[in-house]
Structure 1
Amino acid sequence: MAGRRRSRVRVLRPKRTQVLAARTYEQLVDPGHPVRAVWATVEALDMSDFERAIRSRPHHAGRSAVDPRLLLALWVYGQMEGLSSAHAIAARLRTDVAYWWLCGGVSVSAHTLSSFMTHSGPAFRALLGKLLDDLCSRGAVHRPRRLAQDGTRVRASAGAASFHRKATLRKRAAEAAAAGPCRQGASTKARAARERARADLQARAALALAALPAAARRKKRAKGVAHGEPRASLTDPQAQVMRMPDGGFRPAYNAQAVSDVESRLALAGRVTDEGADSAQLLPMVHWVARVLGLKPEAWLVDGAYRNLKVFSALESQGIRVFSPLPARKNLLPQEERSGGRRGDPINAWRARMQTPAGKRTYAQRAPTAELLNAQVKERQGLRRLHVRGRKRAEAAWLLSLVAHNLLLAIAQGWLDESEGPFFLTP
């Protein structure tokens, strides 16, 4: 009714000035939280290759370095949640209690995370081998006998509009060299930033100009004749325009990975600016034999790796190649089926791929190599690189392979340090 006075209500209002209850970092996450398994696994790793780069020593002046185990654990847990950017992980450090628990009061910035990744490429490569040896010594996995290799195109941190011809690159380099000083009264910090930007532009322009001859040779090999002037990216001079899985052409790198068919562990990785996979088979075979000491009995690749000279060399070394035959060579000639040239390694490969056993062996490639690429790109978030340059791109790729192996080992319960197996949900 209009004349009746409404009664007051009683509600609980937030009081944001009150002091929170005191809690330790250990109380922030539950005992069965996945972040605990990630930390227990990373803490038990041999990180001597990472610690060699640290110059901080006890009883000496200088700031203490952040533990590389903490930085690796942040990257692994971040990729478990689909984060492949240092800035994305650094943003979680301010809002997510699981990251608070990992840091335990240690301040970690995006620059620290990024520098750790880009400067640890050789250490990541060595860690892949150490993890394999550790799992084999525990009896969790067997020594790899069948390996699968595949490549995937990872989008580079450069746009299509950053590619220029020689005249434009020279013009941009001249503009950077002729750039005047800062305005009157600018601070020392602003002048230093302007000088760094000018030097960086000149360096990138020089690298792009140096990459033009290789781009011209690559275009001539692809089309038979060099149509038009070659172009190079001023943003990332080492990136190349490649054909992507969706059929489009964008700046990218070719990321290669070798994995074990039985355990699905990643064993080796490489990033190249060559779009063709056929030239990537032999270097990976030599690297696996030289560094990991492995001589597998079978090597599984798709048709993009078809190179008869390389296949013949591998067959002569006792490594059986499983790769699909071209459609026009599915049937052997009559004289070869009757045993006319049995000593030819290529004929041995062709005969093998026409047998049911050979086709069954090759069918194991997709659940191994293709699944690895899908996990790294879709689940771990490495759909696009956030660094520039081939070496930094390779470091990011190797870090993703290390994270894949550690998450797989935790999920399978292969490591005693983890607090029991658990399911990794996307």
Structure 2
Amino acid sequence: MDDFDKRKFNEVEAALNTLGEKAFRAVFLNLLRFDQTVIYANVQPDEREVINRFLTIEELCKIFDALEVEEMETIRFLKEMTPRLASAILSDMYMDNLADLLGRMSRSDLATYLNLLPKEQIQEVRELLNYHERTAGAIMTTEYISVNQNETVASVMEIVRKRASQAEIIYYVYVEDETEVLVGVVTLRELIMNDDSLTAKQFMKTNVFKVLVEDDQEIVAQRVKEYNFLAVPVVNTTDHLLGIITVDDIIDVMDEESTEDYSGLAGVKVDGDEQSPWISALHRMPWLLTLLLLGMSTASLINHFDSLVSQASILAVFISLITGTAGNAGTQSLAIAVRKISVQNYHKIWKIIRNEVITGIIIGVFAAISITIIVELWKHSLALGMVVGISMAAAITVANLAGSLIPILMDKIGVDPAVASGPFISTLSDLTSVLIYFSVAQIFINSIM
């Protein structure tokens, strides 16, 4: 926590331990929801037990709905409570948050907490848990407001007032026909501005943006970002409304996907709880061993050109310079390609590849000229400078091509492009750079010597 957070934390902790319930509630409930969740998650278990006594069920439920911690932490908080209190909180949570939390539990914990829920909620939760992970169905909530198309503005407003406390968002009211098919949407603004006698059918928007329950969550998040919606309806193949996805869930998805992409680029998992060095090593070892085997191919290639190095040992000096520069260029190109793929710019795939190759050529030419001049001034050998310069230009161009092409090919065959991580591209660039360098050196070997 930063200094400002620590000051608020200390103030709340002092009120909790010395000033009593009334003073604590005055201080704690005056905080923003995010600050409340941070404090709740960071106090000691015995202090959290006191907070559970001082707050109402409704207040605790709002904290649990907004907790920004790993699900295992939230489960631990539940286990600190009595079953009766845990049951009350769970039954009052938003359905999507509840399903997400229960979905992370072990079988025994899931059975325990499901049995604590009211019977009418159990079936609804089970249905949400049955949707495939990372799909629209898995992140949607069933707490929305829908009305029949023949309802008047007056009756719709009355429905909104009655259901507002249970709905996760009230700005959009979804309109269905007699067969419960989604046919339109009206906003709260439109309801306020229109005459009470009009029916929803008369002024609703019929061009409703909706997603299928099996759509990938990343695609859904991108569409919401493009259209600036606060929520989107989720339907089945017959356009029956099943739920909605709100913008707060979209933000969570985007954060999750960004973290996953960064993990792929780094070749290591960067999210989750802090792990012991042994666990971290076990998780990273398979990937590093794979890269080690790929690196051995580079070592074998250098060994293949051992006779060339024996003739001109100065060539060995520039191996790491060329491979490192090409590897960095390839990683930059990879980052651009993964980003473009993540926002679904499929119609620009060949433009991405073309731009990265041209970019590689431009960078390569400038790098080649620079290193040729440097080597000439340093080693007084124009031929050596040209070998290093030409090799670097070609290696950077090939690395840019690989960095943009490999993730696109992986995406085409259904593999997450983030798997084409930075370390993988760097290792591949090492191999191609060494091959290019020594191939060029063979042409100029007589001039170098």
TM range, normalised to the smaller chain? under 0.3
Q: Which fold has the larger relative contact order, with Cα–Cα distance below 8 Å and residues 6 or more apart in sequence?
A: 1
Structure number with higher helix proportion: 2
Q: Which has the larger radius of gyration?
A: 2
**TM-score for both structures, normalised by structure 2:** 0.21
